[in-house]
Amino acid sequence: MKVDFTLYVCTDRHLMSSSSIEESVEKAIAGGAGVIQLREKDISSREFYDTALSVHAITKAHDVPLIINDRVDIALAVGAEGIHVGQSDLPALALRSMIPASMLIGVSASTVEEAVQAEKDGADYLGVGAMNPTATKTDADNVTVEVLKKIRAAVSIPIVIIGGINKTTIPLYKGLGIDGIAVVSAVVSAPDPEKAARELRALWLS
C-alpha cells in the first residue's frame, strides 16, 4: 500500500471543534490528510468498534488508510489498514504474527534504540516524539532535533513527527528527511479543520 504520510491526523473527541468524530475526519481528509488515526482512550470496546466502523466507511470512500491506536482487536474487527502502538503496548514482532501481512504497523519511538528495534520487529513506519510540549501527551519526554536526526540516520522506514506540531514549529523540522507531520489539536481543535489541514500540509510541502 502506497501511503501519503505528509499529513497524518489523529482524532480526539475531547479536543475536537466538530460535532462528531466522523465530521472531524471528513474535514481533515477534505483538507488533505493522507492518514487518519482513530484514538479512543476512554470509551467502551463496543463504542470504539462502532465508531471505527463509521470512520472506516469515510476513509475508505476517500482511499485514505485508517490506523487504529493501540487496539489490535478493533483494527482486525473493522478491517482497518493499520495499527499504531506505543512502547508499553504489544511489540511489533508480536503484532506481525497476529495480523494480515498487508496491515501497517506504526510504532511510537523517542530514542534511537526504540526506533531501531521497531524497524527490526517489522514496523512499517515510526511516530517520533513528542517533539514539543503537547496537551495530548503530558507525560511524554521531548525529542530533540539532534535525536531526530540520529533516528532518521538509523532507520530506513518512514517517520512522522508528533507533539506540538503546528504552523510555528513546522519550519524547525523541514529538510531533515522526515516523511510527514502527525497532528491532533492543530487540525481537530481548529475552528475550520479543513482549512487548518490544508494550510499545514502546504506549509510542510513548501
Active site residues: 39, 108, 137
Query: Are 84 and 109 a contacting pair, CB within 8 Å?
Result: no
Bridge partners (DSSP) of residue 182 are: 8, 162
Nearest Cα neighbor of 11 from 90, 74, 68, 58 is: 68
Distance in angstroms (rounded) separating the CA atoms of residues 127 and 117: 13
Task: Give the SS3 label for residue 151.
Answer: helix
Task: Give the SS3 label for residue 199.
Answer: helix
Query: Are 24 and 16 a contacting pair, CB within 8 Å?
Result: yes
- The C-alpha cell 533516528 sits at 151
Which amino acid, 109? A
